[in-house]
Amino acid sequence: MLKNLPPLAPFRPRLLNDLKGYNSEKLAKDMGAGATVGIVALPLAMAFAIASGLKPEAGLWTAIIAGFIISALGGTSVQIGGPAGAFIVIVYGIVERYGVANLLISTASAGVLLFLLGLFRLGTLVRYVPVSVVIGFTNGIAVLIGLSQVRDLLGLDIAKMPADFFSQISTIAQHIASFNLYAFGLGAVCVAGLFVWPRLWAVDSQFRRQLDKIETVSALRATSRLPAPVVALISLSLLAWALSLPVETIGSRFGGIPQGAPAFALPDFSWETVKMLVTPTLTIALLGAIESLLCARVADQLGDAPKHDPNQELMAQGIANTVVPFFGGMPATGTIARTVTNIRSGAVSPVAGMVHALTLAAVVLLAAPLAAHIPLAVLAGVLMFVAWNMGEWREFGRLKQFSNHYRIMMVSTFLVTIVFDLTVAVELGLVLAVVFFVRRQSGIFRADAISRNSQQITFRLYGSLFFGAVAKIDPIVAEVEASPTPVNVMLDATQLISLDTTGLDALEQLHKAVHKRGGHLGMVGLNEQPKSLMERSGFAAQLHTFK
């Protein structure tokens, strides 16, 4: 029996292939790209952790440890792993409901599940999630991320934000009187700067053209290589510190970031706890699989590297998420923004991702005390920008171009993600996708009468006769039962593509009706699949052969 099972996916990281023919030129490219992405990851990792209800070091060490493991063991050449914006809402809800300790257990359990998905070659199943569902929950998560940052962006005096949508709106409205103009100013300048900075240094920008006319601006031109989030983080933190602005910082809320590696600690595992955490575990695993493989597909389209191995990528994601909780980390997955930065910076192999993790570790170990001066309003501005870029807002304007089925799936997934949670939204989206698919397929099947006389009626079957289409056989049964004389029925099955057991049962009921009236049922032109099912069930032997 075991011999009939499909083989397990081989564990072979892409790094092993990419190291063949690796040379100093490729190393230089990977070093440069990795260092750039490591700097970009610094503000994002802290912002994602804080927005998730965790300490900033949880995001930093997740980016370091998980980022290194995912690059070293993954199935892509240039993907960067780490904490992602898509997890913010999920993690915050789990922390609020179950606590940080149970978040670690859920993350580790999700890691085991992700590894098994890859091991049993189920990575391709993620591609079966309809794009309308993916866009719906992605836009919903973006809205929730933006809403979660209103407190810090406005500098509101709120001790703790609730997890659900309507409670957050109510809490913000109740504390709007504590609005801090200085915090809002820093956050607004941060958002504006993130939009302006890359456009300022674009090759075709007017600023760049005027700058190229000046000869002694090499130092200024070099700053164009700095990522916008890093420029905003450093400049606005210095401004707030120099002017002693009355805004909340990482130091005032969290006491800073420890200057040292996190300690290894075992979460308090128990079978009862794992059973209680089934829903958050499935949510983390589902979102992690979707995000990582979507990111890998984006990397395939942008880069020249070989196509990703989805099963190996899931196994690497699983190992990373299993290990990270033992160091107090949060869920990790593939990150599109950092992956795109990695590709555009010239990365050619997973070595770049490993360098990104080492660069980030060096910055954390050497400059951790400086992070205490970072205003939370600036990190909120960074996340507002991330949320805006994360959402595919143009898809709402394009809805009129698509079918009602597409619109219903996308809008319902979007709304349910906001009002309830991601798991319910994806479940609803998949159920709607199945219902609409069945409806479309049942509409394709038809049974047309092509000849009729007093002794025989011939019908031609088109499409797939399955559980969603069997009602279309009922009119034939009704016609046979209404006939005052025996009638033979011939079914032309040359256009019948497939048949399921419910469809077979409908044909058997038709056979009984015909036989009861003293007639015969025959079929011609059977294709391979319907013929095989009918022979295995014994129904084929009951059919009459007309001369």
pLDDT band for position 274 (cuts 50, 70, 90): confident
What is the architecture, at CATH level 2, of domain 445-542? 2-Layer Sandwich (3.30)
Q: Which two tokens stand for residue 382?
A: 């960074």
- In this predicted structure, what is the pLDDT of residue 256? 81
Other CB atoms within 10 Å distance of the CB of residue 38: 25
Q: Which residues of 220-237 are buried (b: 16+ CB within 10 A; e: fewer)?
A: eeeeeeebbbbbbbeebb
Q: What 8-state DSSP symbol labels residue 398?
A: T
pLDDT tens digits for range 114-171: 999 999 998 887 778 888 998 998 899 999 999 999 999 999 999 888 888 899 999 9
Average pLDDT of the chain, as a whole number: 89
Other CB atoms within 10 Å distance of the CB of residue 81: 35
pLDDT tens digits for range 209-254: 766 666 555 555 666 667 888 889 999 999 999 999 999 999 999 8
Closest CA to 387 of 410, 416, 418: 418
- In this predicted structure, what is the pLDDT of residue 1? 42
- Decide if 201 contacts 209 (C-beta within 8 A): no
Q: Where are the domains of the chain?
A: 30-390, 395-441, 445-542
The C-alpha atoms of residue 94 and residue 97 are separated, in whole angstroms, by 5
Cβ neighbourhood burial of 5 (10 Å; 0-12, 13-18, 19+): exposed
pLDDT band for position 329 (cuts 50, 70, 90): very high
